[in-house]
Structure 1
């Protein structure tokens, strides 16, 4: 087992909080990762796998177990059964943004809008990462998993991962356990070969975010540079000198509510229907009428609401903090909880609890945390 001196979680997470584990193991190859996990599981040892630490809030108490650092890297180019496409098999510890940069440099499209997202590639399918209308579910072919229950390696197609809005069967949501306890060893994506010239931008949400017309054509490199600049303005690109980036990104999920409930919110609250509106009335000519009229949908589709808007309009503006606390909302983005320097995990949690309470009191919505919480209660 490739053991190193124990490293505090405060040095391994982008929120820069967390106690020290009893042991730290650094797995740099796939075999080291598999052997380490099998050993821990056979010994019934408490364990935690950490990649980039960008989606983790770890408590202040020390961890009586082993932290496994996934440091496996590498990208293998594979053929695709679909014309004009290529598949990439990426090791779990490969930095996500490095992968995006590599695909853009190679003229491969499908993940360019997810530039600047911190963390590792193996973590991306766990919460179906996405940005500006792109999600990994759109390009994910399969993952290679090491299953805790069996200790065996299995190749699992994307269709079996339960990928949804920032979720999968592998994610440990706050207050629950994952449906399947397993560790991703590699990820296979399928991307379009578009080259380095200007190409039409797919997706209305991405075009809107980039300020592009419906018929606009730009290069992958332009999209990447623009997305990175946009994320940097929001404090969402890691920068040691900027405390606004000492965060876990968006701390709360954008809530999904019924259309009926959304109608009770102030009309200016941003919202996005999760499915198309019901179709208009259908006219069936008599010569084609077969005596059956399909029933109309009885309810409207659910609606996603902006958590950042709810937070700000519950009285907590950008930069809000509790008295004497070293944790605050980002000064650039109300959805990011940040460490202003030497904050404790409990200070971050106290701010999160207050946000939940105020939003629930004002709007009747209980915001759910997006990061994985270990040793912390909200």
Structure 2
């Protein structure tokens, strides 16, 4: 099977072996079998955060197709505990909890991919992040060869990162792979009769006609987010090549105060916590840097890979691209931003068998 058939970029060469896991037992068995055989392993669910080399993957690909959403205890004080299988579609999960009136993930509607991938990247959008509502993750630990439950406090969440992303081990050859395989994820959501969490993102607040910090309904927030994302080509549509992508290709740079001070006037600046030594950090906008470095929407047209015509942060496959074409474009844009601003922007998608 070609990995192009399993990724939203629609790119990637063949896999040596592909296994579909529809149950948790099948998933654990497939991973354990590959590990015992010393085979490189690639886990794929929604395929929305992967860019795979044209040469493909010389190992076992496990397609995670587990399903199921369970609502546990619910009360006004502790909220609603909801557990979803790793292979559940994320947007469908958001729709399910919104329909039940639960708040906490409504602003992340439309994000492509699976539930199991969201804590790995600490997925976030429009002012919400998975880390804000995640209670625990059940995993298969490939080192200890057992099922382990990790509480939210164990996961070392940061901006687009977590313990699940950084804990990598070399189990087959020299290349490090994820230690933990997500089996299911439990969220603790707010029961507020369909009232949303406070709206934290200015663009979303404007779309809803409220002030930042005010509330709307979870249904209205989800609908507004889907409209905003669709206008940026960030809702999957097979007929729209702007969505043949991995969403935002570059993460927003996190800088020291000194580095941020060197940015030109008007560059976005947001507080981003502190480094391990307690020094303040500042986050800026990768999209702003890309645009101001001279890379407009549609840059690269009429080539096989271009920036999205709707959003400069997405690199897209116009239908006949190769992975090499996307990598060339990414290198061009990253180098241009570094020349213009002295800031190195880095990829958000996982690169398999390739690099920038």
When normalised by structure 1's length, the TM-score is: 0.87
Identify which of 278, 289, 304 aligns with 1:310.
Answer: 289
Match of 1:356 in 2: 334
Structure 2: give runs of 5+ residues left out of the alignment: none
Contact preservation (8 Å) 1:169, 1:178: no
Aligned residue among 226, 247, 256 for 1:228: 226
Question: 313-322 or 96-105: which moved more?
Answer: 313-322
Match of 2:65 in 1: 71
- Partner residue, 1:335: 313
Is 1:158 the counterpart of 2:167 in the alignment? Answer: no
Name the residue aligned to 1:117.
111
User: Matched residues in 2 for 1:183 and 1:313: separation?
Assistant: 39
Deviations 1:6-62 (A, max 9, x none): x21111101110001011100000111011111111111111000100000000003
- Residue 182 of structure 1 deviates from its aligned partner by 1.2
Structure 2 distance, partners of 1:336, 1:51, is: 20
Paired with 2:30 and 2:76, the residues of 1 have a C-alpha distance of: 37
State the partner residue of 2:84: 90
Q: From 188, 198, 203, give the equivalent of 1:201.
A: 198
Aligned equivalent of 1:293 = none
Matched length: 348
- Cα distance change on mapping 1:242 and 1:120 into 2, 3 Å: same
Counterpart secondary structure, 1:186? strand
| Preserved CA contact (<8 Å) 1:130 1:136 | yes
CA distance in 2, matches of 1:358, 1:12: 31
- Provide the rounded CA distance (Å) in 2 between the counterparts of 1:241 and 1:11: 16
Q: CA 1:108 to 1:14, structure 2 compared with 1: closer, same or farther past 3 Å?
A: same
Structure 2 CA distance for partners of 1:214 and 1:311, relative to 1, 3 Å: closer
Measured at CA, do residues 214 and 338 of structure 1 come closer, stay the same or move farther in structure 2, by a change above 3 Å? closer
Structure 1 position 104 matched with structure 2 position 98? yes
Q: Please tell me whether the aligned partners of residues 200 and 213 of structure 2 are also in contact (alpha carbons under 8 angstroms).
A: no
- CA distance in structure 2 between the aligned counterparts of 1:111 and 1:200, rounded to whole angstroms: 9
Provide the rounded CA distance (Å) in 2 between the counterparts of 1:160 and 1:248: 28
Which range moved further: 348-357 or 209-218? 209-218
On the 8 A contact 1:170/1:179 being kept in 2, the answer is: no
Q: Give the conservation status (yes or no) of the 8 Å contact 1:169–1:180.
A: no
Q: Flag the 1:155–1:81 CA change in 2: closer, same or farther, 3 A.
A: farther
* Distance across 2 between alignment mates of 1:32 and 1:63: 21
Task: Point out the more displaced range, 149-158 or 326-335.
Answer: 149-158
Q: Could you list the per-position Cα deviations for residues 228-256 of structure 1 after superposition, in whole angstroms to 9, with x for gaps in the alignment?
A: 00000000000011100110000000001
Gaps of 5+ in 1: 1-6, 277-297
Equivalent-residue separation in structure 2 for 1:311 and 1:353 (angstroms): 12
CA RMSD of aligned residues (A): 2.3
- Kept in 1, the 8 Å contact 2:41–2:177? The answer is no
For 2:167 and 2:347, the matched residues in 1 are separated by: 8
Using the TM superposition, name which of 36-45 and 216-225 deviates more: 216-225
SS of the residue aligned with 2:339?
Answer: helix
Structure possessing the higher radius of gyration over alpha carbons: 1
Is residue 319 of structure 2 the alignment partner of residue 375 of structure 1? no
Native 8 Å contact 2:127 2:199 kept in 1: no
Alignment of 1:187 with 2:185, yes or no, is yes
Equivalent residues of 1:148, 1:182 under 8 A apart: yes
CA distance in 2 between counterparts of 1:319 and 1:308 reads: 13
TM normalised by structure 2 equals 0.92
